[in-house]
Protein backbone atom coordinates (compact mmCIF):
# COMPACT_ATOMS: atom_id res chain seq x y z
CA UNK A 1 0.00 0.00 0.00
CA UNK A 2 1.10 3.59 -0.46
CA UNK A 3 2.38 5.28 2.67
CA UNK A 4 0.94 8.66 3.58
CA UNK A 5 4.05 10.63 2.65
CA UNK A 6 5.04 13.54 0.49
CA UNK A 7 8.76 12.99 0.12
CA UNK A 8 10.97 10.57 1.94
CA UNK A 9 14.72 10.08 2.14
CA UNK A 10 16.19 7.96 -0.60
CA UNK A 11 17.95 5.92 2.10
CA UNK A 12 16.16 2.59 2.32
CA UNK A 13 17.14 2.08 5.97
CA UNK A 14 15.34 5.28 6.93
CA UNK A 15 12.26 4.11 5.03
CA UNK A 16 12.32 0.92 7.10
CA UNK A 17 12.62 2.99 10.29
CA UNK A 18 9.61 5.14 9.41
CA UNK A 19 7.34 2.17 8.71
CA UNK A 20 8.50 0.30 11.78
CA UNK A 21 7.88 3.30 14.04
CA UNK A 22 4.35 3.66 12.68
CA UNK A 23 3.66 -0.05 13.14
CA UNK A 24 4.84 0.16 16.77
CA UNK A 25 2.48 3.00 17.66
CA UNK A 26 4.78 6.03 17.46
CA UNK A 27 2.70 9.23 17.19
CA UNK A 28 5.08 12.01 18.27
CA UNK A 29 8.61 12.71 17.03
CA UNK A 30 10.96 15.27 18.62
CA UNK A 31 13.88 16.70 16.64
CA UNK A 32 17.00 18.55 17.67
CA UNK A 33 18.16 20.74 14.77
CA UNK A 34 21.19 19.62 12.75
CA UNK A 35 22.30 18.53 9.33
CA UNK A 36 23.54 14.95 9.60
CA UNK A 37 20.03 13.90 10.65
CA UNK A 38 18.49 15.40 7.48
CA UNK A 39 17.39 11.97 6.13
CA UNK A 40 15.33 11.52 9.31
CA UNK A 41 13.92 15.05 9.24
CA UNK A 42 12.71 14.98 5.65
CA UNK A 43 11.15 11.54 6.09
CA UNK A 44 9.17 12.13 9.30
CA UNK A 45 8.30 15.80 8.72
CA UNK A 46 6.72 14.93 5.36
CA UNK A 47 4.66 12.09 6.82
CA UNK A 48 1.27 13.16 8.15
CA UNK A 49 1.05 10.06 10.37
CA UNK A 50 3.50 11.70 12.81
CA UNK A 51 3.33 14.95 14.75
CA UNK A 52 6.81 16.49 14.77
CA UNK A 53 8.35 19.00 17.19
CA UNK A 54 11.61 20.93 16.96
CA UNK A 55 13.33 21.65 20.29
CA UNK A 56 16.71 23.41 19.80
CA UNK A 57 18.27 22.47 23.17
CA UNK A 58 19.12 18.75 23.02
CA UNK A 59 18.90 18.19 26.77
CA UNK A 60 15.48 19.81 26.84
CA UNK A 61 14.38 17.93 23.71
CA UNK A 62 15.02 14.54 25.29
CA UNK A 63 13.03 15.46 28.40
CA UNK A 64 10.21 16.76 26.18
CA UNK A 65 10.11 13.37 24.44
CA UNK A 66 10.19 11.54 27.77
CA UNK A 67 7.29 13.63 29.08
CA UNK A 68 5.27 12.87 25.95
CA UNK A 69 6.00 9.15 26.32
CA UNK A 70 4.98 9.25 29.99
CA UNK A 71 1.69 11.01 29.27
CA UNK A 72 0.72 9.16 26.07
CA UNK A 73 1.99 5.73 27.17
CA UNK A 74 3.52 5.35 23.70
CA UNK A 75 7.18 5.21 22.62
CA UNK A 76 8.45 8.66 21.60
CA UNK A 77 11.67 9.15 19.59
CA UNK A 78 14.05 12.08 19.90
CA UNK A 79 16.43 12.53 16.96
CA UNK A 80 19.68 14.47 16.66
CA UNK A 81 22.69 15.15 14.50
CA UNK A 82 26.09 13.58 15.09
CA UNK A 83 28.71 14.47 17.70
CA UNK A 84 28.21 15.94 21.16
CA UNK A 85 24.51 16.60 20.47
CA UNK A 86 23.83 12.97 21.40
CA UNK A 87 25.55 13.27 24.77
CA UNK A 88 23.07 15.95 25.84
CA UNK A 89 20.32 13.32 25.77
CA UNK A 90 21.95 11.36 28.58
CA UNK A 91 20.16 12.96 31.60
CA UNK A 92 16.76 12.08 30.13
CA UNK A 93 17.96 8.61 29.12
CA UNK A 94 19.01 7.84 32.70
CA UNK A 95 15.71 9.18 34.08
CA UNK A 96 13.72 7.07 31.61
CA UNK A 97 15.87 4.03 32.47
CA UNK A 98 14.99 4.13 36.16
CA UNK A 99 11.31 4.78 35.44
CA UNK A 100 10.86 2.31 32.56
CA UNK A 101 9.65 4.99 30.15
CA UNK A 102 9.91 4.10 26.41
CA UNK A 103 12.13 6.95 25.23
CA UNK A 104 13.66 6.21 21.81
CA UNK A 105 16.95 7.90 20.88
CA UNK A 106 17.80 8.02 17.17
CA UNK A 107 21.22 9.49 16.47
CA UNK A 108 22.59 10.34 13.06
CA UNK A 109 26.26 9.46 12.83
CA UNK A 110 29.23 9.93 10.52
CA UNK A 111 30.45 6.84 8.65
CA UNK A 112 32.17 4.55 11.13
CA UNK A 113 35.47 4.64 9.24
CA UNK A 114 35.85 8.32 10.22
CA UNK A 115 35.58 7.76 13.97
CA UNK A 116 38.73 9.03 15.78
CA UNK A 117 40.12 10.44 12.51
CA UNK A 118 39.76 14.15 13.27
CA UNK A 119 36.57 14.65 11.25
CA UNK A 120 34.15 17.29 12.54
CA UNK A 121 31.27 16.30 14.85
CA UNK A 122 32.50 12.72 14.96
CA UNK A 123 32.69 10.87 18.26
CA UNK A 124 32.25 7.27 19.45
CA UNK A 125 28.47 7.10 19.30
CA UNK A 126 27.75 3.38 19.33
CA UNK A 127 26.83 2.10 22.80
CA UNK A 128 27.35 5.58 24.26
CA UNK A 129 24.50 4.99 26.78
CA UNK A 130 25.80 1.54 27.71
CA UNK A 131 25.08 1.81 31.46
CA UNK A 132 21.53 3.18 31.17
CA UNK A 133 19.99 1.70 28.04
CA UNK A 134 17.68 -1.29 27.56
CA UNK A 135 18.78 -2.02 23.98
CA UNK A 136 20.84 -0.40 21.23
CA UNK A 137 21.77 -1.16 17.64
CA UNK A 138 23.47 0.43 14.62
CA UNK A 139 21.37 0.22 11.45
CA UNK A 140 22.32 0.06 7.77
CA UNK A 141 21.44 3.29 5.95
CA UNK A 142 21.14 1.45 2.61
CA UNK A 143 20.88 -2.30 3.15
CA UNK A 144 22.19 -3.83 -0.07
CA UNK A 145 21.25 -7.47 0.49
CA UNK A 146 18.31 -9.49 1.75
CA UNK A 147 20.30 -10.27 4.89
CA UNK A 148 20.93 -6.59 5.66
CA UNK A 149 17.28 -5.71 5.07
CA UNK A 150 16.31 -8.60 7.34
CA UNK A 151 18.80 -7.37 9.97
CA UNK A 152 17.30 -3.86 9.98
CA UNK A 153 13.72 -5.10 10.25
CA UNK A 154 14.49 -7.67 12.91
CA UNK A 155 16.57 -5.20 14.93
CA UNK A 156 13.88 -2.53 14.77
CA UNK A 157 11.25 -4.95 16.09
CA UNK A 158 13.52 -6.34 18.79
CA UNK A 159 14.57 -2.94 20.12
CA UNK A 160 11.11 -1.36 19.95
CA UNK A 161 9.47 -4.36 21.63
CA UNK A 162 12.11 -4.07 24.36
CA UNK A 163 11.22 -0.41 24.90
CA UNK A 164 7.52 -1.19 25.26
CA UNK A 165 7.84 -4.25 27.49
CA UNK A 166 6.95 -4.18 31.24
CA UNK A 167 10.68 -4.17 32.03
CA UNK A 168 11.37 -1.71 29.20
CA UNK A 169 12.68 1.82 29.00
CA UNK A 170 14.97 3.86 26.76
CA UNK A 171 16.54 2.40 23.60
CA UNK A 172 19.03 3.72 21.07
CA UNK A 173 19.27 3.48 17.28
CA UNK A 174 22.52 4.77 15.78
CA UNK A 175 22.41 5.56 12.06
CA UNK A 176 25.69 6.28 10.21
CA UNK A 177 24.83 8.42 7.17
CA UNK A 178 26.94 9.13 4.12
CA UNK A 179 26.39 12.14 1.87
CA UNK A 180 24.24 13.19 0.10
CA UNK A 181 21.91 13.72 3.06
CA UNK A 182 19.02 15.71 1.62
CA UNK A 183 18.11 13.68 -1.46
CA UNK A 184 14.49 12.50 -1.44
CA UNK A 185 12.12 10.45 -3.55
CA UNK A 186 8.37 10.70 -4.00
CA UNK A 187 5.70 8.48 -2.43
CA UNK A 188 7.44 5.26 -1.57
CA UNK A 189 5.33 2.15 -2.17
CA UNK A 190 5.48 -0.35 0.69
CA UNK A 191 6.62 -3.68 -0.64
CA UNK A 192 3.92 -6.35 -0.58
CA UNK A 193 6.42 -8.92 0.56
CA UNK A 194 7.92 -6.75 3.30
CA UNK A 195 8.86 -8.64 6.44
CA UNK A 196 6.01 -8.76 8.95
CA UNK A 197 6.59 -7.17 12.35
CA UNK A 198 7.58 -9.48 15.16
CA UNK A 199 5.05 -9.45 17.99
CA UNK A 200 6.05 -10.41 21.52
CA UNK A 201 3.00 -11.69 23.37
CA UNK A 202 2.32 -10.03 26.72
CA UNK A 203 2.02 -12.94 29.13
CA UNK A 204 1.15 -12.51 32.81
CA UNK A 205 3.11 -14.76 35.19
CA UNK A 206 1.13 -16.70 37.77
CA UNK A 207 2.09 -17.94 41.20
CA UNK A 208 2.21 -21.72 41.62
CA UNK A 209 0.18 -23.43 44.32
CA UNK A 210 3.37 -24.11 46.31
CA UNK A 211 4.39 -20.43 46.11
CA UNK A 212 0.92 -19.30 47.14
CA UNK A 213 1.00 -21.62 50.12
CA UNK A 214 4.36 -20.25 51.27
CA UNK A 215 3.34 -16.61 50.86
CA UNK A 216 0.05 -17.20 52.62
CA UNK A 217 1.84 -18.75 55.57
CA UNK A 218 4.22 -15.80 55.90
CA UNK A 219 1.35 -13.32 55.66
CA UNK A 220 -0.74 -15.09 58.26
CA UNK A 221 2.21 -15.35 60.66
CA UNK A 222 3.10 -11.63 60.34
CA UNK A 223 1.09 -9.51 62.80
CA UNK A 224 2.59 -6.26 61.47
CA UNK A 225 2.30 -5.74 57.73
CA UNK A 226 3.39 -2.56 55.95
CA UNK A 227 2.59 -1.98 52.26
CA UNK A 228 4.74 0.89 50.97
CA UNK A 229 3.81 2.36 47.58
CA UNK A 230 6.23 4.39 45.45
CA UNK A 231 5.81 6.38 42.26
CA UNK A 232 3.29 5.10 39.71
CA UNK A 233 0.54 6.36 37.39
CA UNK A 234 -3.07 6.39 38.53
CA UNK A 235 -4.48 2.89 38.97
CA UNK A 236 -8.09 2.92 40.14
CA UNK A 237 -8.32 -0.84 40.55
CA UNK A 238 -5.15 -0.91 42.69
CA UNK A 239 -6.58 1.91 44.79
CA UNK A 240 -9.74 -0.13 45.48
CA UNK A 241 -7.70 -3.24 46.30
CA UNK A 242 -5.60 -1.33 48.82
CA UNK A 243 -8.75 0.21 50.38
CA UNK A 244 -9.99 -3.32 50.95
CA UNK A 245 -6.69 -4.35 52.55
CA UNK A 246 -6.71 -1.25 54.74
CA UNK A 247 -9.77 -2.69 56.49
CA UNK A 248 -7.42 -5.29 57.98
CA UNK A 249 -6.27 -3.63 61.20
CA UNK A 250 -2.88 -5.39 60.99
CA UNK A 251 -2.05 -3.72 57.64
CA UNK A 252 -0.66 -0.21 57.20
CA UNK A 253 -0.89 1.26 53.68
CA UNK A 254 1.75 3.98 53.33
CA UNK A 255 1.74 6.05 50.12
CA UNK A 256 3.18 9.26 48.70
CA UNK A 257 1.48 11.80 46.46
CA UNK A 258 3.46 10.50 43.48
CA UNK A 259 1.93 7.06 44.09
CA UNK A 260 -1.35 8.56 42.83
CA UNK A 261 -3.24 6.53 45.44
CA UNK A 262 -5.69 8.17 47.83
CA UNK A 263 -8.01 7.05 50.61
CA UNK A 264 -8.76 8.08 54.17
CA UNK A 265 -7.50 4.66 55.29
CA UNK A 266 -4.00 5.26 53.85
CA UNK A 267 -1.08 7.07 55.50
CA UNK A 268 -0.25 9.79 52.94
CA UNK A 269 2.32 12.13 54.42
CA UNK A 270 5.23 9.94 55.49
CA UNK A 271 7.62 12.62 56.72
CA UNK A 272 4.85 14.47 58.54
CA UNK A 273 3.91 11.26 60.37
CA UNK A 274 7.21 9.50 60.87
CA UNK A 275 8.88 12.48 62.59
CA UNK A 276 6.78 11.81 65.68
CA UNK A 277 8.08 8.33 66.47
CA UNK A 278 11.68 8.32 65.21
CA UNK A 279 12.97 9.39 68.61
CA UNK A 280 10.15 8.46 71.00
CA UNK A 281 9.19 4.87 70.15
CA UNK A 282 10.61 3.72 66.77
CA UNK A 283 10.28 -0.03 67.40
CA UNK A 284 6.51 0.36 67.78
CA UNK A 285 6.15 0.87 64.02
CA UNK A 286 8.61 -1.79 62.83
CA UNK A 287 6.91 -4.21 60.39
CA UNK A 288 7.28 -7.97 60.34
CA UNK A 289 6.46 -7.99 56.62
CA UNK A 290 7.26 -5.13 54.23
CA UNK A 291 5.66 -5.21 50.76
CA UNK A 292 6.81 -2.60 48.25
CA UNK A 293 4.88 -1.63 45.12
CA UNK A 294 5.76 0.93 42.46
CA UNK A 295 8.85 3.00 41.77
CA UNK A 296 10.85 5.53 43.73
CA UNK A 297 9.95 6.53 47.29
CA UNK A 298 10.82 10.14 48.08
CA UNK A 299 10.97 10.06 51.88
CA UNK A 300 14.53 9.70 53.09
CA UNK A 301 13.21 9.26 56.61
CA UNK A 302 11.28 6.08 55.83
CA UNK A 303 14.28 4.64 53.98
CA UNK A 304 16.60 5.36 56.90
CA UNK A 305 14.07 3.99 59.38
CA UNK A 306 13.43 0.71 57.55
CA UNK A 307 17.14 0.13 56.99
CA UNK A 308 17.64 0.33 60.75
CA UNK A 309 14.43 -1.37 61.92
CA UNK A 310 14.42 -4.11 59.31
CA UNK A 311 11.41 -6.32 58.61
CA UNK A 312 11.80 -10.09 58.82
CA UNK A 313 10.32 -10.41 55.33
CA UNK A 314 10.49 -7.92 52.46
CA UNK A 315 8.62 -8.63 49.21
CA UNK A 316 9.19 -6.50 46.11
CA UNK A 317 6.29 -6.64 43.65
CA UNK A 318 6.81 -6.07 39.90
CA UNK A 319 9.15 -6.97 37.07
CA UNK A 320 11.34 -3.87 37.13
CA UNK A 321 14.79 -4.06 38.79
CA UNK A 322 14.13 -7.36 40.62
CA UNK A 323 17.29 -7.08 42.76
CA UNK A 324 16.77 -3.48 43.85
CA UNK A 325 17.09 -3.80 47.64
CA UNK A 326 16.27 -0.26 48.79
CA UNK A 327 15.67 -1.25 52.42
CA UNK A 328 18.52 -3.77 52.72
CA UNK A 329 16.11 -6.53 53.69
CA UNK A 330 14.81 -7.99 50.41
CA UNK A 331 13.74 -11.62 50.79
CA UNK A 332 11.52 -12.15 47.73
CA UNK A 333 10.96 -10.49 44.38
CA UNK A 334 7.56 -11.38 42.96
CA UNK A 335 7.63 -10.41 39.24
CA UNK A 336 3.91 -10.05 38.57
CA UNK A 337 1.65 -7.03 38.20
CA UNK A 338 0.59 -5.37 41.43
CA UNK A 339 -3.10 -5.85 40.62
CA UNK A 340 -2.66 -9.61 40.16
CA UNK A 341 -0.68 -9.89 43.38
CA UNK A 342 -3.25 -7.99 45.43
CA UNK A 343 -6.03 -10.13 43.99
CA UNK A 344 -4.10 -13.04 45.45
CA UNK A 345 -3.77 -11.28 48.85
CA UNK A 346 -7.51 -10.71 48.97
CA UNK A 347 -8.34 -14.38 48.55
CA UNK A 348 -10.15 -16.21 51.36
CA UNK A 349 -7.07 -18.05 52.60
CA UNK A 350 -5.59 -14.94 54.19
CA UNK A 351 -6.34 -14.30 57.82
CA UNK A 352 -7.32 -10.89 59.11
CA UNK A 353 -4.89 -10.71 62.01
CA UNK A 354 -6.01 -9.37 65.41
CA UNK A 355 -3.01 -7.02 65.53
CA UNK A 356 -3.78 -3.28 65.51
CA UNK A 357 -0.55 -2.34 63.74
CA UNK A 358 -2.33 -0.57 60.88
CA UNK A 359 -4.50 1.31 63.35
CA UNK A 360 -1.38 2.42 65.21
CA UNK A 361 -0.02 4.01 62.02
CA UNK A 362 -3.33 5.60 61.07
CA UNK A 363 -3.94 7.01 64.55
CA UNK A 364 -0.61 8.81 64.40
CA UNK A 365 -1.40 10.06 60.90
CA UNK A 366 -4.67 11.60 62.12
CA UNK A 367 -2.98 13.28 65.09
CA UNK A 368 -0.21 14.81 62.99
CA UNK A 369 -2.76 15.93 60.41
CA UNK A 370 -4.53 17.89 63.16
CA UNK A 371 -1.27 19.51 64.25
CA UNK A 372 -0.52 20.29 60.59
CA UNK A 373 -3.80 22.16 60.14
CA UNK A 374 -3.38 24.07 63.39
CA UNK A 375 0.12 25.21 62.43
CA UNK A 376 -0.95 26.43 59.00
CA UNK A 377 -3.68 28.62 60.48
CA UNK A 378 -1.02 31.00 61.83
CA UNK A 379 2.00 30.14 59.66
CA UNK A 380 3.99 33.21 58.55
CA UNK A 381 4.51 34.01 54.86
CA UNK A 382 7.01 31.45 53.64
CA UNK A 383 7.47 28.58 51.21
CA UNK A 384 5.25 26.44 53.47
CA UNK A 385 2.30 28.85 53.49
CA UNK A 386 2.68 29.43 49.74
CA UNK A 387 2.40 25.70 49.10
CA UNK A 388 -0.70 25.56 51.28
CA UNK A 389 -2.35 28.23 49.14
CA UNK A 390 -1.36 27.15 45.64
CA UNK A 391 -2.00 23.44 46.18
CA UNK A 392 -5.55 24.38 47.16
CA UNK A 393 -5.87 26.27 43.86
CA UNK A 394 -5.01 23.35 41.56
CA UNK A 395 -8.15 22.59 39.52
CA UNK A 396 -9.82 19.20 39.80
CA UNK A 397 -9.21 16.65 37.03
CA UNK A 398 -5.88 18.24 36.11
CA UNK A 399 -2.20 17.25 36.26
CA UNK A 400 0.30 18.55 38.80
CA UNK A 401 4.02 18.39 38.02
CA UNK A 402 6.64 18.95 40.71
CA UNK A 403 10.32 19.73 40.38
CA UNK A 404 12.83 18.04 42.65
CA UNK A 405 14.71 18.98 45.84
CA UNK A 406 12.68 21.16 48.21
CA UNK A 407 9.55 21.40 46.02
CA UNK A 408 8.72 17.70 45.97
CA UNK A 409 9.41 17.47 49.72
CA UNK A 410 7.10 20.36 50.56
CA UNK A 411 4.37 18.77 48.44
CA UNK A 412 4.61 15.53 50.44
CA UNK A 413 3.60 17.39 53.61
CA UNK A 414 0.10 18.01 52.22
CA UNK A 415 -2.66 15.45 51.72
CA UNK A 416 -3.17 14.54 48.07
CA UNK A 417 -6.10 15.72 46.00
CA UNK A 418 -7.97 12.68 44.71
CA UNK A 419 -8.81 13.89 41.20
CA UNK A 420 -5.31 15.18 40.44
CA UNK A 421 -2.51 13.18 38.81
CA UNK A 422 0.95 13.81 40.32
CA UNK A 423 4.18 13.71 38.30
CA UNK A 424 7.86 14.16 39.16
CA UNK A 425 11.22 13.02 37.75
CA UNK A 426 12.10 10.65 40.59
CA UNK A 427 14.06 8.13 38.52
CA UNK A 428 17.31 9.97 39.16
CA UNK A 429 15.76 12.86 41.15
CA UNK A 430 17.60 15.49 39.12
CA UNK A 431 16.48 19.08 38.61
CA UNK A 432 17.87 19.31 35.08
CA UNK A 433 14.78 18.55 32.97
CA UNK A 434 11.78 19.08 35.23
CA UNK A 435 10.25 21.90 33.18
CA UNK A 436 10.84 20.19 29.83
CA UNK A 437 9.29 16.94 31.07
CA UNK A 438 6.23 18.77 32.36
CA UNK A 439 5.75 20.61 29.05
CA UNK A 440 6.11 17.34 27.13
CA UNK A 441 3.32 15.93 29.28
CA UNK A 442 1.18 19.00 28.61
CA UNK A 443 1.63 18.64 24.84
CA UNK A 444 0.57 14.98 24.82
CA UNK A 445 -2.19 15.58 27.39
CA UNK A 446 -3.72 18.62 25.71
CA UNK A 447 -7.27 18.06 26.98
CA UNK A 448 -6.50 19.15 30.55
CA UNK A 449 -4.61 21.81 32.48
CA UNK A 450 -1.04 21.02 33.54
CA UNK A 451 0.36 22.95 36.51
CA UNK A 452 4.06 22.90 37.33
CA UNK A 453 5.49 23.95 40.70
CA UNK A 454 9.22 24.59 40.63
CA UNK A 455 12.02 26.18 42.59
CA UNK A 456 14.20 28.92 41.16
CA UNK A 457 17.40 26.91 40.62
CA UNK A 458 15.50 24.16 38.79
CA UNK A 459 13.63 26.73 36.70
CA UNK A 460 16.69 28.70 35.59
CA UNK A 461 18.62 25.48 34.96
CA UNK A 462 15.97 24.33 32.46
CA UNK A 463 14.84 27.71 31.12
CA UNK A 464 15.58 26.60 27.54
CA UNK A 465 12.44 24.51 27.87
CA UNK A 466 10.63 27.66 26.66
CA UNK A 467 13.02 28.18 23.71
CA UNK A 468 10.75 26.74 21.02
CA UNK A 469 7.34 27.23 19.45
CA UNK A 470 5.54 24.34 21.15
CA UNK A 471 4.87 25.41 24.75
CA UNK A 472 1.07 24.96 24.98
CA UNK A 473 -1.54 27.29 26.45
CA UNK A 474 -2.65 24.62 28.95
CA UNK A 475 0.63 24.98 30.89
CA UNK A 476 0.97 26.98 34.13
CA UNK A 477 4.07 27.48 36.26
CA UNK A 478 4.27 28.49 39.90
CA UNK A 479 7.90 29.52 40.37
CA UNK A 480 8.84 29.80 44.04
CA UNK A 481 11.85 32.09 44.02
CA UNK A 482 13.50 32.05 47.45
CA UNK A 483 16.86 33.25 46.15
CA UNK A 484 18.69 29.91 45.95
CA UNK A 485 18.57 26.18 46.51
CA UNK A 486 16.00 25.94 49.30
CA UNK A 487 16.88 22.33 50.08
CA UNK A 488 20.25 23.48 51.43
CA UNK A 489 18.53 25.76 53.93
CA UNK A 490 16.74 22.69 55.30
CA UNK A 491 19.13 19.74 55.40
CA UNK A 492 21.86 19.72 58.06
CA UNK A 493 25.38 20.55 56.95
CA UNK A 494 25.52 23.19 54.17
CA UNK A 495 24.63 26.19 56.34
CA UNK A 496 27.23 25.23 58.91
CA UNK A 497 30.07 25.80 56.43
CA UNK A 498 31.55 29.15 55.36
CA UNK A 499 30.79 28.15 51.76
CA UNK A 500 27.10 27.38 52.42
CA UNK A 501 25.42 30.32 50.70
CA UNK A 502 27.78 30.48 47.72
CA UNK A 503 28.56 26.85 46.92
CA UNK A 504 25.46 25.00 48.15
CA UNK A 505 22.49 27.39 48.34
CA UNK A 506 23.89 29.33 45.32
CA UNK A 507 22.22 32.54 46.48
CA UNK A 508 21.11 34.92 43.72
CA UNK A 509 18.84 37.86 42.96
CA UNK A 510 17.61 36.81 39.52
CA UNK A 511 14.03 36.96 38.29
CA UNK A 512 12.19 35.06 35.57
CA UNK A 513 10.48 38.16 34.20
CA UNK A 514 12.93 38.70 31.34
CA UNK A 515 12.87 35.01 30.45
CA UNK A 516 9.08 35.13 30.23
CA UNK A 517 9.24 38.20 28.01
CA UNK A 518 11.91 36.67 25.76
CA UNK A 519 9.87 33.52 25.17
CA UNK A 520 6.39 35.10 24.96
CA UNK A 521 5.09 33.62 28.20
CA UNK A 522 2.58 35.58 30.27
CA UNK A 523 4.14 36.72 33.54
CA UNK A 524 2.69 37.37 37.00
CA UNK A 525 4.59 38.26 40.19
CA UNK A 526 3.66 38.04 43.87
CA UNK A 527 5.37 38.96 47.14
CA UNK A 528 2.60 38.08 49.59
CA UNK A 529 -0.31 35.71 50.14
CA UNK A 530 -2.71 38.51 49.17
CA UNK A 531 -0.92 39.13 45.87
CA UNK A 532 -0.98 35.41 45.03
CA UNK A 533 -4.64 35.03 45.93
CA UNK A 534 -5.75 38.14 44.01
CA UNK A 535 -4.22 36.83 40.76
CA UNK A 536 -5.09 33.13 40.99
CA UNK A 537 -8.37 33.20 39.06
CA UNK A 538 -7.05 35.06 36.03
CA UNK A 539 -3.78 33.11 36.14
CA UNK A 540 -5.46 29.69 35.99
CA UNK A 541 -7.90 30.66 33.24
CA UNK A 542 -7.09 30.31 29.54
CA UNK A 543 -5.07 33.43 28.81
CA UNK A 544 -6.49 36.08 26.46
CA UNK A 545 -3.51 35.68 24.13
CA UNK A 546 -3.65 31.85 24.37
CA UNK A 547 -0.19 31.63 25.91
CA UNK A 548 1.22 29.65 28.84
CA UNK A 549 1.79 31.59 32.06
CA UNK A 550 4.28 31.87 34.92
CA UNK A 551 3.58 33.23 38.40
CA UNK A 552 6.83 34.03 40.18
CA UNK A 553 6.33 33.99 43.95
CA UNK A 554 9.13 35.64 45.92
CA UNK A 555 9.90 34.32 49.41
CA UNK A 556 12.79 34.54 51.86
CA UNK A 557 14.87 31.35 51.70
CA UNK A 558 16.48 31.65 55.11
CA UNK A 559 13.21 32.43 56.84
CA UNK A 560 11.40 29.66 54.97
CA UNK A 561 13.98 27.14 56.11
CA UNK A 562 13.52 28.15 59.74
CA UNK A 563 9.73 27.99 59.47
CA UNK A 564 9.81 24.51 57.94
CA UNK A 565 12.03 23.19 60.73
CA UNK A 566 9.69 24.78 63.27
CA UNK A 567 6.71 23.18 61.50
CA UNK A 568 8.29 19.71 61.63
CA UNK A 569 8.92 20.14 65.35
CA UNK A 570 5.50 21.61 66.21
CA UNK A 571 3.53 18.96 64.28
CA UNK A 572 5.14 16.08 66.18
CA UNK A 573 2.82 14.11 68.42
CA UNK A 574 4.05 13.96 71.99
CA UNK A 575 3.35 10.89 74.14
CA UNK A 576 2.07 8.69 71.32
CA UNK A 577 -0.89 6.56 72.46
CA UNK A 578 0.03 2.87 72.19
CA UNK A 579 -2.74 0.53 71.06
CA UNK A 580 -2.90 -3.01 72.33
CA UNK A 581 -1.49 -5.34 69.70
DSSP 135-188: EEEEPPSS--SHHHHHHHHHHHHHHHHHHHSTT---EEEEEE-PSP-S-EEE-P
The segment(s) of the chain belonging to CATH 3.40.50.1220 are 209-368
Q: How far apart are CA 395 and CA 398, in angstroms?
A: 6
Indicate the average pLDDT of the chain: 91
Residue spans in the chain of domains classed CATH 3.40.50.970: 7-179, 379-569
Those residues whose C-beta lies under 8 Å from the C-beta of residue 68, and which sit 6 or more positions away, are: 28, 30, 76, 440, 441, 443, 444
DSSP β-ladder status, 7-9 and 184-186: antiparallel
Instruction: Compute CA 232 distance to the chain's CA centroid, rounded to the nearest angstrom.
Output: 9
- pLDDT(183) > 80: yes
Task: Return the closest-CA partner of residue 9 out of 148, 153, 156, 185.
Answer: 185
pLDDT value of residue 186: 81
Confidence of residue 488 (pLDDT cuts 50, 70, 90): low
> In this predicted model, what pLDDT tens digit does every residue of 208-229 receive, in sequence order?
999 999 999 999 999 999 999 9
Least confident of 186-190, 217-221, 384-388, 392-396: 186-190
**Which residues are registered as beta bridge partners of 291?**
227, 315
Q: For the domain bounded by 379-569, which CATH number is listed? A: 3.40.50.970
Q: Which of 180-189, 203-212, 463-472 has the lowest mean pLDDT?
A: 180-189
Of 508, 409, 422, 525, which Cα lies nearest the Cα of 460?
Answer: 508
pLDDT higher than threshold 70 for residue 524: yes
Q: Which fold has domain 7-179?
A: Rossmann fold (3.40.50)
- Given a cut of 90, is residue 550 above it in pLDDT? yes
The DSSP bridge pattern shows strands 475-481 and 450-455 to be: parallel
Q: What are phi and psi of 343, to 5 degrees?
A: -60, -40
First to last CA, the chain: 70
> Which string of DSSP letters, residue by residue, matches 445-510?
TTTS-EEEEEEHHHHHHTGGGGSSS---TTEEEEEEE-SS-GGGGTSSSGGGSTTIIIIII-----
Q: Which CATH superfamily is domain 209-368 in?
A: TPP-binding domain (3.40.50.1220)
The predicted structure's pLDDT at residue 193: 43
| Orientation angle between helical segments 557-570 and 383-393, nearest 10 degrees | 80
pTM for the predicted model, two decimal places? 0.92
Nearest alpha carbon to residue 530 among 429, 413, 387, 381: 381
Which pLDDT band, with edges at 50, 70 and 90, does 196 fall under?
A: confident
In angstroms, the Cα distances linking 557 to 290, 478, 480, 532 are: 37, 16, 10, 18
Amino acid sequence: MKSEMGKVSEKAGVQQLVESFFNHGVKYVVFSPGSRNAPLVVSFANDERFKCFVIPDERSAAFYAMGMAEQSNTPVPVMCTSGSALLNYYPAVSEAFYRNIPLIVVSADRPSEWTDQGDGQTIRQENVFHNHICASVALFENPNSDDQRWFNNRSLDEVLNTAKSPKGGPVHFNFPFTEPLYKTIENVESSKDAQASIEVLDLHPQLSSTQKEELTKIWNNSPRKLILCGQMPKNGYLNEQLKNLANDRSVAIVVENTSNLQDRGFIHCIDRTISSFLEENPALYQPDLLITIGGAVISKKIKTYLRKFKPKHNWKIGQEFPYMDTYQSLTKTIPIQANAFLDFLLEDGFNRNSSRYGEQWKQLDYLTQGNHMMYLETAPYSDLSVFNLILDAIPDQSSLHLSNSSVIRYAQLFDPIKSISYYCNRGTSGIDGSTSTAIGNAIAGDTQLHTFITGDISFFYDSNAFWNHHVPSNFRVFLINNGGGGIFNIIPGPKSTPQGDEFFVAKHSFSAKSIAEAFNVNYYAANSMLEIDSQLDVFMEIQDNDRPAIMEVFTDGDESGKILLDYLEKTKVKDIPVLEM
